[in-house]
Amino acid sequence: MTQAGPSKYATEIVRVFPDYAGSVIWFIDPVPYAESQFSAGLAARLVSWEGQYYASLDDDLRWRSLDTLHTFSAEGLELAREVSGEIGPEFLVEYRSSEDSGAVAQLRSETPASNPAARAAFRTRAAREREEWAALQSARTRAAKLGVSPARENQVDNSGW
- Interval 78-134: pLDDT, tens: 999 999 999 999 999 999 988 877 789 999 999 999 999 999 999 999 999 999 888
Residue 50 to residue 21: CA distance in whole angstroms? 10
Q: How confident is the model over 21-45, as a mean pLDDT?
A: 97
Q: What pLDDT sits at residue 102?
A: 74
Q: Residue 68: CB partners within 8 Å, gap ≥ 6? A: 56
Residue 122 to residue 116: CA distance in whole angstroms? 10
Q: Which helix (DSSP H) or strand (DSSP E) does residue 8 occupy?
A: helix 8-11
Phi-psi region of 37 (alpha: psi -120 to 50; beta: other; left: phi over 0): left
| Confidence tier at 141 by pLDDT (50, 70, 90) | confident
pTM for this entry: 0.84
Closest listed residue to residue 77, CA positions, set 24, 134, 119, 30: 24
Q: Which helix (DSSP H) or strand (DSSP E) does residue 80 occupy?
A: helix 66-87
Q: What are phi and psi of 25, to 5 degrees?
A: -100, 125
| DSSP designation for 28 | S
